[in-house]
Amino acid sequence: MNRVRLVMVAALAGGMALVLSVQPAAAQWQIDSKDGKSNIKIGFLAQPQFELLETPDTTGQSKNVSLRRIRVMFGGKISDKWTFFFETDSPNIGKASPEKTGNPTGAKEAGNIYIQDAYFTYNEGDGFKVDAGMILIPLGHNHNQSAATLLPVDYSPYSCTEGASLGSRMGRDYGVQVRGYPLKQHLEYRLGVFQGARGAEARNGMRVAGRAVWYPFAADTGFFYSGTFQGSKRVVGVGAGFDTQKEYHSYAADVFIEQPVNEGEQGLTAQFNWMRFDGGTFLPALARNDAILVEAAFHVKKGKVSPLVQYSRKTFDNALTPEQSMWQAGVAYWMAGHQRNIKVTVGRQHIDRQPDRTQLLVQMQIFHF
């Protein structure tokens, strides 16, 4: 990769970091009812991104400046026991796909705004909640994370492998789930019934998914899991999940660790996910495969920086299907935690019997909700 380009990218990232870091923190955008019993919050997530990626024959470089995500968010409280959340998304606006076969002219993504999440929650306390709408399937930790609180630049590319076959969008489906945090928030459970693949005349049985997590210390009680707290709190979660419809089955096991050290001056985040997807005779296009994710970071509070690594791999029972993997290493600079940050990573993408490809990513995040 050209050294001059790397220097220019580093300078650009440093300039953006300097500008953003001097901006004052903004108050929450919220409208309250006159009686104070209900409210609505408005926010957004923006992730401008620069990418350099070697072409499939490794003779050149694809270059893109785009918006990885741009989301508008609405959430709030209807009453003491009822809350809601909606958000739109339009991913990869302005990006020209580097795959020559699928995009021979290099056309840029024009954008397609759609609903990403939409659900209502009834809250009877820590032990029992009900979520209904378009929601994330309760399977693995990475599968249920928020894009706004990721540790590296993005999710594992294999965490939502089941989505296309089941007609869902990035791990979401339409349905109802119950969840709660009993035993003084040491245990979490999620269990739901969802649309899944409906089939001709919508006759298929429903999709059922569930998840349980054991927390020896503090629980991560948000609807969306966090990818990191930047070493600011002690969280250990050991989880397992399942997802099934007719002959389709998926299983997951994961461990998430967040540990402050040196009285909070440093910290560690680590995550391991294993997921098995098997479409069976119901979804034959979803060949049986195993996906793993390992990611970790060391946080330095004083410098607001976190060196980080991520490794993902997908393997198939069928030896004729090529194994895929990718790794990335880099650094995150947390100007204002997840509200404003910049991440820079360099990595390699691997597919069996194809040349490995080097990728450089620089992503800025501005998040307010």
State pLDDT tens for residues 110-138.
888 999 999 999 999 999 999 999 999 99
* Over residues 334-351, mean pLDDT: 97
Q: Tokens for 165?
A: 């076959």
pLDDT: which is higher, 311 or 101:
311
For the chain, give the secondary structure using H, E and C.
Answer: CCHHHHHHHHHHHHHHHHHHHCCCCCCCCEEECCCCCCEEEEEEEEEEEEEEEECCCCCCEEEEEEEEEEEEEEEEECCCCEEEEEEEECCCECCECCCCCCCCCCCECCCCCEEEEEEEEEECCCCCEEEEEEEECCCCCHHHECHHHCCCCCCCCCCCCCHHHHCCECCEEEEEEEEECHHHHCEEEEEEEECCCCCHHHCCCCEEEEEEEECCCECCCCCCECCCCCCCCCEEEEEEEEEEECCEEEEEEEEEEEEEECCCCEEEEEEEEEEEEECCCCCCCCCCEEEEEEEEEEEECCCCEEEEEEEEEEEECCCCCCCEEEEEEEEEEEEEEECEEEEEEEEEEEECCCCCEEEEEEEEEEEEC
Which CATH number belongs to the domain containing residue 316 in this structure?
A: 2.40.160.10
Q: Which residue has the higher pLDDT, 97 or 190?
A: 190
Domain membership flag for residue 314: yes
> In sequence order, what are the residues at sequence separation of 6 or more whose Cβ sits closer than 8 angstroms to the Cβ of residue 336?
20, 21, 25
Average pLDDT, the chain: 92
pLDDT, tens digit (0-9, with 9 covering 90-100), for 231-265? 999 999 999 999 999 999 999 999 999 999 999 99
Residue 122 lies in a domain: no
Residue 99: predicted pLDDT? 81
Q: Any idea which of 73-87, 88-102, 218-232, 258-272 has the lowest mean pLDDT? A: 88-102
Residue 49 lies inside a defined structural domain of this protein: no
Decide if 326 is inside a domain.
yes
Q: Could you give phi then psi for residue 157, rounded to 5 degrees?
A: -70, -5
- Domain containing 326 equals 138-368
- Average pLDDT of span 181-194: 97
Q: What is the distance between the alpha carbons of residues 94 and 50, in angstroms, rounded to a whole number?
A: 11
| Over residues 185-197, mean pLDDT | 97
Does the residue 333 lie in any domain?
yes
Q: Is the pLDDT of residue 349 over 60?
A: yes
User: Per-residue confidence at 25, pLDDT binned at 50, 70, 90?
Assistant: very low
Copy the structure tokens of residue 258. Answer: 């967040």
Q: Please name which of 130, 103, 132, 95 lies closest in space to residue 117, comparing C-alpha atoms.
A: 132
Confidence of residue 12 (pLDDT cuts 50, 70, 90): very low
Does a structural domain hold residue 168? yes
For the chain, what is the largest distance between any 2 Cα atoms, rounded to a whole number of angstroms? 65
Residue 359 forms part of a structural domain: yes
Domain-located, residue 281: yes
Whole-prediction pTM value? 0.89
Q: Is the pLDDT of residue 230 over 50?
A: yes
Q: What number is the average pLDDT over the span 58-77? A: 95
Could you report the per-residue pLDDT of 262-312, keeping only the tens digit for each?
999 999 999 999 999 999 999 999 999 999 999 999 999 999 999 999 999
pLDDT of residue 2: 52
pLDDT at 22 over 60: no
Number of domains comprising the chain: 1
Give pLDDT, residue 174.
97
